[in-house]
């Protein structure tokens, strides 16, 4: 989601990457409210036009945090740094003038008029800079003399033996030293004057960066149809939850995307369902939405209530690493162990585990799932664990993905359109049985018929024994 | 005031020396000296770093570039702060070099400066394009040591070539070597229809049939030509190579039966990296080379003195060069 943000300035980018994971409801609420106000502003044509102009201005902003630090440390700025401060102050004040009608942004931006006064005593208001004669009246005559000398020097160039030329060169050097001395004094003077405005400059820089982030967040919220989550209550609850990238891809191919409703209470929630029923995507979406919310973004759903957590813990995909000598099972267990340890410390966590203990034998695997589910149930966590194991003894809450629609006929299902025949919605379940649709799906995927018939035979033998 | 009128017909111009100490900086100073009194807005940049007061390679004194009042010049942060000239910063670009960002400034006085510029051609092209916002009439690019690619017409409209005793102290050899570059620069352009079709292709080797249809040979480099030998001339005798062309390619083409009908099309002269012998033997057997974009040569300047102490006769060199190239040649120290 962050990669798809179209930030206009390097400044915004730096600030976004440095933004903290918010755990305090007031903070999250404040940030979300800001985005909300921006979304509302973008929906009104007048203020939208203003924000478009602001966006263009922001694209010209340089990140001058280094220069501001130099001012704070009372160092003398060089010409390039002075230029940066001047051009930033001009742009920031332009933005300030522009956003006057959008009160909530305007009131955050400090007025940098005095900074501009210092660096542009002539009032030209052009973002170019040099120590011009208005900074020190004595510079004018000296520079005039210098230009005259240079002119003479240029004419006598080449004849290095000429005594007159050597004299000219000496005069020119002396004059230049004098000018440099005055210029340095001016630089020192300007830097001293700017020191008082370092806090205002810093504030303005932060606000401008934030405006960039706000506008892009709000634009994304509108284009991807995101919603502002409520961060009150003790149930995380989503209606119409979706995974933006997947939705976009499917819609591009003119395929159906089914959003999901889910409530997550404190404790463990086991999710079962056939293969290809979207369990992994669901976990990813939950993680994404939680993270987005706690970084002050809108979330991909039609409505959402989110309980804030201190950390999101995730165990997904095969993380086997031959090089460190850990099997997939070992690395998964170490990860789960870490999660359980944190859970035992009564940290507020969102725990998402995909197909726990799937790489070991079903008997022990089932026991591990029950054990982890039970421990998590007693902690201050919201854990969502997907599994294929049936007959789990744990008393925690269980959900099941509905899976294949009853009416669907296998003949018309192909690998391409299989998604159209699956109902991805969740129902409460007792978890005593899990869907046995692996062979059916394998058949649809066009797996070799011999595998299918052999597997069916094996299943029949199993039934006979029972 | 010779060739200054020619210079002013271009929007952008590069000055390229065939060797260090061929008088590139002298030429640049000469042009700037002439331009200062004209009512023209001039911008100056270079590829990489230039304007050291002593030549680092040969440790010979080297004239600095004298910028005149009102001209715009580009320098890196580090060099800008070391400058002696009084100048006004107009912008600090986002292009980074090893010596900091590029500073675009206008000279308030006249003085010598260290010019710098982007180290790659893509950024240089963007930089030249951005000069439009300062209403610049002419952007001059000071080329670095044997960086011919920057004279590519994709970057600057025209070029000035400097050559001299430093390139070769033997007069006939110098003329011959310079003529080779001159011949490449003057290669004819393809017809507009084909130009339009080929201009946007940046890689690969393509056969062109008699109706100007393109057939991609699907090989990444000319070194793979042997593998598709049977296909190369299946469609016709014309071949377009988007990237660099080497001795290998010219030798391959020369050895074909149909060599006198073969026409090689390249992007521009800077893509030809063949040695003179190999190139000319291909031409002698009847092969033809054409370019998509022809570079306009504004002038050839000579420096008869080399840092090793060789001193050619300026007039003789000028006459011989003019005879061979059939265009005006200048020794900027003499005009």
Structure confidence at residue B271 (pLDDT): 86
Spatial distance between the Cα atoms of A221 and B322, rounded to a whole number of angstroms: 69
Query: How many A/B residue pairs have CB atoms within 8 Å?
Result: 49
Spatial distance between the Cα atoms of B264 and B184, rounded to a whole number of angstroms: 13
Summarize the confidence of residues A224-230 as an average pLDDT. Answer: 91
Residue with tokens 């160092």: A75
Probe site for chain B from A61, A66, A130 (most B CB atoms < 10 A): A130
Task: Answer yes or no: are the C-beta atoms of B222 and B205 closer than 8 Å.
Answer: yes
Burial of B93 (0-12, 13-18, 19+ CB in 10 A): middle
Structure confidence at residue B66 (pLDDT): 86
Spatial distance between the Cα atoms of B268 and B14, rounded to a whole number of angstroms: 15
Summarize the confidence of residues A334-361 as an average pLDDT. Answer: 86
Summarize the confidence of residues B102-117 as an average pLDDT. Answer: 86
Burial of B91 (0-12, 13-18, 19+ CB in 10 A): buried
**Res A434 pLDDT > 80:** no
Structure confidence at residue A203 (pLDDT): 93
Most confident of A388-402, A406-420, B57-71: A388-402
pLDDT tens per residue across span B283-296: 999 999 999 888 88
Question: Any idea what DSSP says for residue B187?
Answer: P
Burial of B98 (0-12, 13-18, 19+ CB in 10 A): exposed
Cite the residue boundaries of each domain of chain B with CATH code 3.40.50. Answer: 4-186+296-334
Spatial distance between the Cα atoms of B54 and B114, rounded to a whole number of angstroms: 11
Structure confidence at residue B148 (pLDDT): 58
Spatial distance between the Cα atoms of A279 and B281, rounded to a whole number of angstroms: 69
Helix (H) or strand (E) holding B161: strand B158-164
Helix (H) or strand (E) holding B316: helix B314-325
Question: Any idea what DSSP says for residue B268?
Answer: S
In this prediction the ipTM stands at 0.73
Cβ contacts of B209 within 8 Å, gap of 6 or more: B215, B235, B236, B238
Report which of A101, A20, A107, A109 is spatially closest to residue A58, judged by C-alpha positions.
A109
Structure confidence at residue B265 (pLDDT): 92
**Res A68 pLDDT > 80:** yes
Summarize the confidence of residues B82-92 as an average pLDDT. Answer: 87
Nearest chain A Cα to B93, which residue?
A62
Nearest chain B Cα to A64, which residue?
B92
**Across the interface, do A80 and B81 touch by the CB < 8 Å criterion?**
yes
Structure confidence at residue B79 (pLDDT): 82
Q: Name the pLDDT band for A70 (thresholds 50, 70, 90).
A: very high
Candidate CATH numbers 3.30.70, 1.20.1340, 3.40.50, 3.30.559; the one for domain B4-186+296-334 = 3.40.50
Instruction: Tell me how many helices (H) and strands (E) chain A has.
Output: 16, 9
**Across the interface, do B103 and A80 touch by the CB < 8 Å criterion?**
yes
pLDDT tens per residue across span A29-43: 999 999 999 999 999
* Phi and psi at residue B237, to the nearest 5°: -100, 10
Q: Greater confidence, B148 or B332? A: B332
**Across the interface, do A176 and B84 touch by the CB < 8 Å criterion?**
yes
pLDDT tens per residue across span A267-295: 888 888 777 778 888 888 999 999 999 99
Q: Name the pLDDT band for A466 (thresholds 50, 70, 90).
A: low
- A339: contact with B, CB 8 A cutoff: no
What are B's interface residues with A at a Cβ cutoff of 8 A? 66, 69, 77, 80-81, 84, 86-92, 94, 103, 105-106, 108-111
**Across the interface, do B81 and A79 touch by the CB < 8 Å criterion?**
yes
- A135: contact with B, CB 8 A cutoff: no
**Res A178 pLDDT > 50:** yes
Q: Between B92, B94, B111, which is nearest A80 by CB?
A: B92
Spatial distance between the Cα atoms of B16 and B151, rounded to a whole number of angstroms: 7
Rg (CA), chain A: 33
Give A9→chain B minimum CA distance, Å.
Answer: 11
**Res B210 pLDDT > 70:** yes
**Res B264 pLDDT > 60:** yes
- Residue A158 Ramachandran class (φ > 0 left, ψ -120 to 50 alpha, else beta): left
Summarize the confidence of residues A396-417 as an average pLDDT. Answer: 70
**Across the interface, do A62 and B80 touch by the CB < 8 Å criterion?**
no
Spatial distance between the Cα atoms of A454 and B1, rounded to a whole number of angstroms: 95
Q: Which long-range contacts (C-beta less than 8 Å, at least 24 apart) are formed by A31-34? A: A31/A296, A32/A228, A32/A229, A32/A231, A32/A293, A32/A296, A32/A298, A34/A104, A34/A214, A34/A296
The mean pLDDT of chain B is: 84
The mean pLDDT of chain A is: 84
- A458: contact with B, CB 8 A cutoff: no
B80 neighbourhood in chain A, CB within 8 Å = 79-80
Probe site for chain A from B34, B88, B104 (most A CB atoms < 10 A): B88
Structure confidence at residue A355 (pLDDT): 84
Residues A248-284 as b/e (b if ≥16 CB within 10 A, e otherwise) read eebeeeeeeeebbebebebbbbbbbbbebbbbeebbb
Count of other CB atoms within 10 angstroms of residue A56: 10
Task: Answer yes or no: are the C-beta atoms of A227 and A305 closer than 8 Å.
Answer: no
Spatial distance between the Cα atoms of B240 and A338, rounded to a whole number of angstroms: 61
Task: Answer yes or no: are the C-beta atoms of A432 and A390 closer than 8 Å.
Answer: yes
Structure confidence at residue B53 (pLDDT): 46
Of A96-100, B46-50, B266-270, which range is least confident?
B46-50
Summarize the confidence of residues A201-228 as an average pLDDT. Answer: 92
Structure confidence at residue B54 (pLDDT): 47
A86 neighbourhood in chain B, CB within 8 Å = none
CA–CA distance from A162 to each of A6, A149, A156, A175, B244 (Å)? 63, 16, 8, 20, 51
Summarize the confidence of residues A304-333 as an average pLDDT. Answer: 79
- A80: contact with B, CB 8 A cutoff: yes
Rg (CA), chain B: 21
Summarize the confidence of residues A138-149 as an average pLDDT. Answer: 85
Residue A115 CA, chain-centre distance (Å), reads 33
pLDDT tens per residue across span B216-256: 888 877 777 777 777 788 888 899 998 888 898 999 899 88
Q: Greater confidence, A229 or A380? A: A229
**Across the interface, do A151 and B111 touch by the CB < 8 Å criterion?**
no
Of A4-13, A18-27, A245-254, which range is least confident?
A4-13
């Amino acid at each position: 989601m962050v990669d798809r943000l179209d930030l206009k300035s390097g400044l915004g980018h730096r600030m976004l990457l440095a933004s903290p994971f918010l755990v305090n409801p007031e903070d999250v609420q404040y940030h979300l409210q800001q985005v909300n106000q921006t979304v509302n502003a973008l929906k009104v044509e007048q203020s939208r036009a203003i924000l478009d102009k602001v966006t263009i201005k922001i694209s010209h902003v340089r990140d001058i945090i280094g220069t501001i630090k130099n001012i704070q440390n009372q160092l003398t700025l060089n010409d390039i740094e002075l230029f940066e401060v001047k051009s930033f102050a001009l742009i920031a004040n332009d933005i300030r003038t522009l956003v006057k009608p959008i009160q909530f942004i305007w009131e955050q931006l400090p007025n940098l008029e005095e900074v501009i006064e210092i660096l542009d005593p002539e009032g030209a208001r052009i973002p170019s800079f040099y120590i011009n004669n208005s900074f020190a009246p004595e510079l004018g005559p000296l520079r005039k003399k210098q230009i005259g000398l240079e002119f003479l020097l240029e004419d006598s160039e080449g004849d290095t033996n000429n005594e007159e030329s050597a004299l000219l060169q000496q005069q020119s050097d002396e004059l230049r030293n004098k000018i440099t001395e005055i210029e340095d004094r001016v630089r020192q003077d300007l830097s001293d004057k700017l020191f008082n405005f370092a806090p205002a400059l810093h504030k303005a820089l932060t606000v401008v960066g934030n405006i960039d982030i706000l506008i892009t967040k709000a634009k994304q919220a509108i284009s991807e149809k995101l919603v502002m989550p409520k961060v009150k209550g003790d149930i995380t609850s989503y209606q119409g939850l979706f995974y933006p990238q997947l939705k976009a891809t499917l819609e591009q191919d003119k395929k159906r995307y089914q959003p999901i409703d889910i409530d997550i209470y404190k404790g463990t929630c086991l999710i079962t369902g056939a293969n290809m029923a979207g369990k992994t995507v669901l976990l990813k979406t939950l993680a994404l939405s939680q993270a987005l919310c706690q970084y002050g973004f809108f979330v991909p759903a039609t409505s959402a209530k989110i309980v804030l957590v201190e950390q999101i813990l995730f165990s997904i995909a095969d993380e086997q690493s031959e090089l460190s000598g850990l099997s997939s099972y070992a690395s998964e267990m170490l990860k789960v162990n870490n999660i359980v340890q944190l859970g035992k410390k009564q940290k507020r966590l969102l725990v998402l585990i995909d197909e726990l203990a799937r790489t070991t034998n079903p008997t022990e695997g089932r026991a591990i799932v029950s054990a982890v589910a039970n421990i998590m149930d007693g902690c201050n966590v919201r854990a969502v664990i997907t599994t294929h194991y049936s007959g789990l003894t744990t008393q925690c809450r269980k959900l099941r993905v509905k899976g294949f629609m009853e009416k669907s006929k296998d003949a018309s299902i192909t690998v391409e359109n299989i998604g159209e025949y699956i109902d991805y919605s969740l129902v409460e379940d007792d978890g005593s049985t899990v869907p046995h649709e692996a062979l059916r799906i394998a058949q649809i995927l066009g797996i070799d018929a011999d595998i299918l018939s052999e597997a069916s035979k094996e299943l029949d033998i199993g039934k006979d024994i029972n | 005031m010779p060739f200054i009128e020619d210079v002013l017909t271009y929007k952008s111009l590069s000055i390229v020396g065939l060797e260090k100490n061929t008088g590139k900086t002298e030429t640049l100073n000469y042009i700037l000296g002439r331009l200062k009194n004209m009512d023209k807005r001039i911008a100056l940049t270079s590829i990489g770093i230039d304007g050291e007061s002593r030549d680092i390679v040969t440790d010979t004194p080297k004239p600095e570039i004298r910028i005149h009042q009102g001209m715009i010049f580009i320098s890196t942060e580090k060099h800008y702060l070391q400058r002696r000239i009084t100048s006004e910063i107009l912008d600090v670009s986002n292009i980074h070099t090893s010596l900091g960002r590029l500073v675009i400034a206008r000279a308030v006085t006249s003085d010598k400066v260290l010019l710098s510029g982007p180290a790659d051609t893509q950024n240089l092209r963007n930089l030249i394009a951005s000069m439009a916002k300062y209403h610049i009439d002419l952007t001059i690019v000071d080329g670095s040591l044997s960086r011919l690619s920057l004279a590519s017409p994709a970057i600057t409209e025209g070029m000035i070539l400097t050559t001299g005793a430093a390139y070769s102290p033997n007069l006939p050899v110098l003329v011959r070597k310079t003529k080779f570059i001159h011949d490449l620069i003057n290669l004819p352009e393809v017809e507009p229809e084909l130009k339009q079709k080929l201009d946007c292709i940046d890689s690969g080797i393509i056969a062109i049939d008699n109706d100007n249809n393109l057939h991609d040979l699907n090989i990444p480099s000319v070194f793979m030509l042997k593998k598709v030998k049977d296909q190369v001339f299946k469609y016709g005798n014309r071949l377009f190579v988007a990237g660099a062309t080497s001795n290998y390619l010219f030798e391959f083409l020369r050895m074909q039966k149909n060599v006198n009908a073969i026409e090689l099309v390249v992007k521009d002269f800077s893509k030809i990296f063949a040695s003179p012998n190999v190139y000319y033997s291909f031409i002698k057997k009847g092969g033809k080379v054409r370019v998509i974009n022809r570079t306009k040569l504004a002038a050839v300047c000579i420096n008869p003195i080399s840092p090793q102490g060789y001193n050619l006769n300026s007039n003789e060199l000028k006459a011989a060069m003019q005879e061979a190239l059939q265009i005006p040649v200048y020794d900027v120290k003499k005009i």
